[in-house]
Amino acid sequence: MARWAKSPGSTRVGDRAVTGGRGSPLSGFSKGLRKIEVAVKWDPSPAGQPPTDLDIVAATFTSDDAYGTPAYLVHFDSRSPDGTIFLNRDSTDGRGFGWDEVMTLELDRLADRYARVVVGVVIQQRPGHKTFVHVLNPAMRVREGYTVLAEDDFGSVLGATAATIAEFARDGSGDWTFRPGVHGFEEDPATFTRVMGRAHQR
């Protein structure tokens, strides 16, 4: 099982932050969301090469610190305290059929104090530096039930080591809305989880 990098790194958001990708969002704005599935897949490294490991991570933010420090993180090594966000499937090498990593977010069960959830994908950096250009055929999908909200191939963030791929926020009536967009970062896994919610404040 992969482990999050422990180096302190930088708190700077990467210069390669961009919106969208060659697989642009299918819906620019969706409202009243309840249960979301976020999925990522990629092909295994060529024979003789170190495995490529991508991880989905979700960060939750409370209304009094919506763009600051995450209230908690969910990934393969950290669970949601209330069971509303969980990882259904985890892969360390991209081997297998279909989607390699799958996370479910039960937004309608989140407590009222949570105002925002940001979901990202981070590339583990062992044994060497690796960006999306080094990942074979990466893809992501966000959907609610059978409705696909967004798809992307990370083509706009090939120089990034991590990327946010979905943002969910409550509107004035308390309904959850979806804000699509892929935004690249140049941080290690540990630093990425601290800064992934700060970019693109609206």
The domain limits of the chain are 30-195
The number of beta carbons lying within 10 Å of the beta carbon of residue 74 is 23
Which tokens belong to 17? Answer: 């932050």
The model's pTM: 0.85
What whole-number distance in Å separates Cα of residue 126 and Cα of residue 70?
25
* DSSP, res 65: G
What whole-number distance in Å separates Cα of residue 45 and Cα of residue 35?
32
Strand, helix or coil at 195?
A: helix
The domain defined by 30-195 folds into Lipoxygenase-1 (2.60.60)
* DSSP, res 192: H
Note the pLDDT of residue 186. 94
- Do residues 74 and 81 make contact, with C-beta atoms less than 8 angstroms apart? no
pLDDT in tens, the chain (202 residues): 344 442 333 222 233 333 344 444 444 556 789 999 999 999 999 988 899 999 999 999 999 999 999 999 999 888 899 999 999 999 999 998 899 999 999 999 999 999 999 999 999 998 889 999 999 999 999 999 999 999 999 999 999 999 999 999 999 899 999 998 999 999 988 899 999 998 554 4
